[in-house]
Structure 1
């Protein structure tokens, strides 16, 4: 149970850093309060976690030949697509504008969530 909570917190923090660093990724509109943005961040992290749990393994299996040929670099494209899918599901509350922003955001989310999981998931 702790592992799920740690991964959820890591996803939320990673999404927050991506929203902060990448200008093409927005959370809520400009008039949303801080509490509203926090609630939106929690909901988007939940959606992102579910997308990564359900859709990402299927896409990785289907893209296995491309992953082998590109020595795993196609994972960046898969991460970008998962971020764009999250933005599509979340609607206006979370927007990813363009594939370049999605690739950069996916890279940032991967690095930050790895680092947060490394810090939080200590036995």
Structure 2
């Protein structure tokens, strides 16, 4: 149940980013937001750790600012995959991807604070 709630929170965060940023656009279907949230979660779980491991020197050298670029690239990869699956999600520029990834991260973090975590209550 918690996984579904986190997925819904991620879809809401993607919807918020599309609403707030004129450089992010989607085809208007609600299922597109759910698919983009699912693809983004899979990309962040599978691809992002490998990219971070390969770029750890650059991340340290830039004091973590390279993570903004990595997050934007993961959002671009999500756009590419969602487009090939037949869902219209589009990012206009790289700056929009950076700002969009920050908005999605912050909104997901904020919404996940309201999801009840049973493990924390047991301790």
- Shorter-chain TM-score category? 0.7 to 0.9
Return the alpha-carbon distance in structure 1 between the equivalents of residues 116 and 49 of structure 2. 22
- The structure 1 residue matched to 2:103, chosen from 105, 108, 112, is 108
1:24: Cα distance to partner? 1.0
TM-score w.r.t. the length of structure 2 is: 0.86
In structure 2, the gaps of 5 or more residues are 119-123
1:16: Cα distance to partner? 0.6
1:109: Cα distance to partner? 0.7
In structure 1, the gaps of 5 or more residues are none
Return the alpha-carbon distance in structure 2 between the equivalents of residues 106 and 114 of structure 1. 12
Return the alpha-carbon distance in structure 1 between the equivalents of residues 101 and 12 of structure 2. 13
Name the residue aligned to 2:114.
119
Name the residue aligned to 2:89.
94
Q: Which runs of 4+ in 1 moved over 3 A?
A: none
Q: Deviations 1:11-62 (Å, cap 9, x if unpaired)?
A: 111101110011111111xxx5xxxx11111111111111111111111111
1:5: Cα distance to partner? 2.3
Name the residue aligned to 1:22.
21
Count of equivalent residues: 115
Pairwise CA RMSD: 1.5
Return the alpha-carbon distance in structure 1 between the equivalents of residues 80 and 36 of structure 2. 11
TM-score w.r.t. the length of structure 1 is: 0.86
